[in-house]
Amino acid sequence: MMQRSVPRRPPPRQALPASIADRILLLRDDVLVLDKPAGLPVHRGPRGGASLDDWLEPLRMGKRHLPQPAHRLDTDTAGCLVLGRTKPALGALGRIFAEGRAEKTYWAGVRGGPAADSGTIDLALRKTSSAARGWRMEVAPDGQPALTRWRVLGRGAGITWLELAPRTGRTHQLRVHCAAAGFPILGDPFYGADEPGGLHLLARAIGLPLDPPLATTAPVPPHMRAALSACGLGG
C-alpha cells in the first residue's frame, strides 16, 4: 500500500534575542541587513568560537531556510552585512555583488591623511603568505585589479575621517590601499596602524538594485566615535 508523504514541519521558531534584534537595520520578506559588530566572524573558523553562524537560527524568523550572507565582511569590520532570506533572493544578491552593482560605502579613521580632498587608489592586489607572518594581501603589478575611491569627510590632529567607495571587492582591499597610499586605517594590526581599540573601519551604507531597491546605513560603533568626533563627526 502506498504511503502518504507527510509535509515536513519547519523547526520551532526561536525567540530573537534583543542583542541580535537591535542590530537588524532593515528587514524585508526577501532580505535583511545586519549591523555586524566588529570582532564577530561571518563564518565559524577551524578553531570554533562565536560567529554569525550562531545567529542564523534565531534570524530565520519563520522562513523555511536559514538566512545566508550574500557577501564578505572582515571579522574586524563593523556595519552593514546583507543576508538573503530566500533562495531566489540569494541568487539575485549573488549576481549583484559578483557584477559589481552593489553600492558600498565605508567610513574609516586613518593615521595622517591625504593632502587632497578626494581621489582614487588604483593598485592591483595579490595574496601572499610566509611561515613567519602568515597570509596577507600585498600590492603587486601582477595581482588582481583593485580600485578604491575616497573622499575626506573631516580632519583632526594627526588623523582623517575618510569615506571609501570600493569599486572592486578584493580581500582587505581598503586596508591595503589606505596603507599603501600612506594613511593606514587606525587599529589595523596587519597593515601599519596598530593602535589599541579595534579597527576603525565601518561598512557605513549599502545600496542594492533589487525590486524594490534597498538602501540602509549603519551607526558609528562606540570604538570609532572618539576619533571621528575629533574630525568633526556630530552627535
Label residue 2 by pLDDT band (50, 70, 90). very low
Here the CATH number for the domain that contains residue 25 is: 3.30.2350.10
Residue 186 near residue 159 (C-beta atoms within 8 A): yes
Domain count, the chain: 1
Average confidence (pLDDT) over 110-116: 96
pLDDT at residue 14, rounded to an integer: 60
Q: Residue 176 falls within a domain, yes or no?
A: yes
- What lies within 8 Å, CB to CB, of 147 at 6+ separation is 120, 121, 122, 166, 167, 168
Give the C-alpha separation, 14 to 179, whole Å.
43
Give the C-alpha separation, 61 to 85, whole Å.
9
Give the C-alpha separation, 220 to 29, whole Å.
26
- What lies within 8 Å, CB to CB, of 185 at 6+ separation is 108, 109, 110, 111, 174, 175, 178, 179, 191, 193, 199, 200, 201
Q: Residue 23 falls within a domain, yes or no?
A: yes
Q: List strand residue ranges (DSSP E) for the chain, in order.
A: 24-27, 31-36, 68-69, 78-84, 103-111, 118-122, 125-130, 134-139, 147-155, 159-166, 201-208, 214-217
pLDDT at residue 1, rounded to an integer: 47
Q: Residue 1 falls within a domain, yes or no?
A: no
Q: Residue 13 falls within a domain, yes or no?
A: no
Label residue 220 by pLDDT band (50, 70, 90). very high
Label residue 197 by pLDDT band (50, 70, 90). confident
Q: Is 19 helix (H, G, I), strand (E, B) or coil?
A: helix
CA atoms within 13 A on the CB side of 39: 7
Just list the catalytic residues.
Answer: 74
Domain coverage including residue 170: 18-230
Over 80: is that where the pLDDT of 235 sits?
no
Answer with the residue of higher pLDDT: 219 or 197. Answer: 219
Tell me the pLDDT of the chain averaged across its residues: 91
Q: What is the pLDDT of residues 27-53, one digit of tens each?
A: 999 999 999 999 999 988 777 788 999
Average confidence (pLDDT) over 92-104: 95
